[in-house]
Each structure stands twice: as C-alpha cells, then as structure tokens.
Amino acid sequence: MPELFDDTPPPCPECEERSATPIIYGNPSSEMLVVARLGDIILGGIAEQADAPEWLCSCGKRYRD
Ligand SMILES: [Zn+2]
C-alpha cells in the first residue's frame, strides 16, 4: 500500500507554498472517495496523461514534481 497522504508536497512553482493537495489518478477506492470528500486529495480521473499535474496548490496552480 503506497503512502498517498503523508508526502510533503514539493514547493509550488508560482508561490513556493508546500501546502498543495495531491491529485490522484485511477479508479478510486471507497477510502479514496471519502478522503477526496474531506478535501485531502483530489481525484484526477481514471486515465492519467503523461504530463498530468500531480499537485494542486491553494493558489490554483497545478504542477508536477
Ligand atoms: Zn501556489
């Protein structure tokens, strides 16, 4: 089971905040749906694109590591 929720986000390229929310791709489990509802993750959809963003900053910027 990978650790999805304990990562420290990389700094945002726009504002350098480290408070981004992880964007999780794939078919969500019921646990993931609960966590997404709480706002701790964002569900990005079933199919992950090669350059899909991995983080959503509170400033609205989506970015990868
Ligand atoms: Zn930001």
Could you read off the pLDDT of 10-61 as tens digits, one per residue?
999 999 999 999 999 999 999 999 999 999 999 999 987 889 999 999 999 9
Cα 65 to middle of ligand 1, angstroms: 13
Q: Which amino acid is at 31?
A: E
The pLDDT of residue 5 is above 80: no
Domain ranges of the chain: 21-58
Please, which residues have CB within 8 angstroms of residue 10's CB and are 6 or more apart in sequence? 18, 20, 55, 63, 65
Q: Alpha helices of 1-65 — where are they, by DSSP H?
A: 30-38
What is the C-alpha to C-alpha distance for residues 65 and 58, in angstroms, rounded to an integer? Answer: 16
Between the CA of 19 and the centroid of ligand 1 the distance, in Å, is: 8
Distance 22 CA to ligand 1 centre (A): 13
pTM exceeding the 0.85 threshold for the entire prediction: no
- The C-alpha atoms of residue 17 and residue 26 are separated, in whole angstroms, by 26
15 C-alpha to ligand 1 centroid (Å): 4
Give distance in angstroms: CA of 18 to centre of ligand 1.
8
